[in-house]
């Protein structure tokens, strides 16, 4: 029995892959390496190619006895999604249609899917429960929502069992020290702040300090990749045990402002760096915090590593030992 990890060379995918292997599962990876890194996959069998390539997927499903698919293969930059909507619909939604067709051809009926807090858009309730209105404010969030609805209708029509996991702000690095965050270009707050602490970036820009929050900067719910990984294990086990489909938020239920992240980074690294206040970034909600009650109650998930210190210390260890990330770009 194997688990197919689509997008297993990417940031969240590789952390979940590492946890699945540590838990004793045989894993097979498909990744086109357009954004992922070969070194992030370790010793697992890696098929380099796109999940929309039917011939490749037929080979994977023929060569391995796949019981469940974990699907991380998607483009995930909000800004890029607004400039390239066709790329996002193609890469995210169309490729998922192709993946589900391949699964159907090979009678594989279970999938754990990476969704996003971006499906909610500007929330009217914080912490955000899963049943909050879904009103994405960008193309990325819209494609994630469309992928979720696709799974739902495949569940209704074909009995596909799926778990959709809506990540809030994925952050941190594996305690193994072997894998961490490496995006090109980097747009996420924590790696940018740590690069400034390393002196590799001149300064950190705070995108707006006039939000209706205690210090005026945006508040986000940062969730450690180790906690995301434990949730994926629980979700895969739930499907394998026949306990049915579900949609869950993955967040810590604890918000940190941009300024709090900067202060925590100064403390963890022991380094100071210049900070400037820049204009707001279009489409940024002031506050995004998950309600994680459903994941705790129904999956038995306990996020244990998502305090600012654990996130920043693990990310700092990775950035310090891998100043050029995986060094393959």
Distance in Å, CB of 238 to ligand UFG, minimum: 24
Q: Is residue 22 within 8 Å of residue 3, measured between CB atoms?
A: no
d(CA 247, CA 237): 15
> What part of residues 188-247 is at the interface with ligand UFG (CB under 6 A)?
188-189, 192, 205-207, 218, 220
d(CA 81, CA 242): 35
Is the C-alpha dihedral spanning 203, 259, 134, 292 positive or negative? positive
Q: Which of 14, 92, 116, 139 binds ligand UFG (CB under 6 A)?
A: 116
At 107, give phi and psi (nearest 5°): 55, 45
Per rule CB under 6 A, is residue 133 in the interface with ligand UFG? no
Helix, strand, coil percentages (3-state) for the chain, rounded to 5, are: 40, 20, 40
Per rule CB under 6 A, is residue 169 in the interface with ligand UFG? yes
Q: Is the peptide bond before 246 cis (omega within 30 degrees of 0)?
A: no
Count residues binding ligand UFG (CB under 6 A): 21
Q: Is the peptide bond before 185 cis (omega within 30 degrees of 0)?
A: yes
Distance in Å, CB of 180 to ligand UFG, minimum: 15
Give the range of 32-40, 92-100, 185-193, 238-246 binding ligand UFG by CB under 6 A.
Answer: 185-193
d(CA 238, CA 143): 25
Distance in Å, CB of 207 to ligand UFG, minimum: 4
- Cβ proximity to ligand UFG: between 102 and 139 the closer is 139
Per rule CB under 6 A, is residue 9 in the interface with ligand UFG? no
Q: Is residue 71 within 8 Å of residue 112, measured between CB atoms?
A: yes
Distance in Å, CB of 187 to ligand UFG, minimum: 5
Determine whether 47 is an active site residue: no
Catalytic residue chosen out of the listed positions 11, 25, 140, 211: 140
Distance in Å, CB of 135 to ligand UFG, minimum: 12
Written as six digits, the tokens of 66 are 């796949």
Q: Which residues bind ligand UFG (CB under 6 A)?
A: 76, 78, 116-118, 140-141, 169, 187-189, 192, 205-207, 218, 220, 258, 281, 284, 288
Catalytic residues: 140
């Amino acid at each position: 029995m194997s688990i197919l990890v689509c997008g297993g060379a990417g940031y969240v995918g590789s952390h979940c892959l590492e946890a699945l292997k540590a838990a004793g599962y045989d894993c097979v990876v498909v990744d086109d390496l357009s954004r992922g890194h070969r070194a992030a996959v370790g010793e697992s069998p890696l098929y380099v190619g796109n999940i929309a390539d039917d011939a490749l997927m037929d080979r994977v499903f023929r060569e391995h006895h796949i019981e469940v698919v974990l699907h991380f293969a998607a483009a995930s930059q909000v800004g890029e999604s607004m400039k390239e909507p066709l790329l996002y619909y193609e890469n995210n939604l169309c490729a998922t249609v192709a993946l589900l067709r391949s699964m159907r051809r090979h009678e594989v009926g279970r999938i754990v899917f990476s969704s996003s807090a971006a499906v909610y858009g500007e929330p009217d309730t914080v912490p955000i429960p899963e049943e909050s209105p879904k009103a994405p404010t960008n193309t990325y969030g819209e494609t994630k929502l469309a992928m979720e609805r696709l799974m739902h209708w495949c569940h209704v029509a074909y009995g596909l069992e799926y778990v959709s996991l809506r990540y809030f702000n994925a952050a941190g690095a594996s305690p193994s020290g072997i894998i961490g965050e490496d995006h090109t270009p980097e747009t996420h707050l924590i790696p940018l702040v740590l690069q400034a602490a390393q002196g590799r970036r001149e300064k950190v820009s705070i995108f707006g300090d006039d939000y209706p929050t205690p210090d005026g900067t945006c508040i986000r719910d940062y969730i450690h990749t180790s906690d995301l990984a434990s949730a994926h294990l629980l979700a895969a086990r739930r499907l394998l045990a026949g306990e049915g489909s579900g949609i869950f938020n993955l967040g810590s239920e604890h918000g940190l402002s941009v300024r709090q992240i900067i202060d925590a980074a100064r403390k963890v690294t022991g380094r100071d760096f210049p900070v400037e206040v820049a204009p707001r970034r279009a489409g940024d909600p002031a506050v995004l915090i998950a309600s994680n009650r459903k994941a705790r109650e129904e999956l038995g998930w306990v996020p244990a590593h998502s305090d600012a210190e654990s996130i920043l210390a693990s990310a700092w260890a990775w950035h310090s030992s891998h100043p050029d990330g995986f060094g393959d770009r």
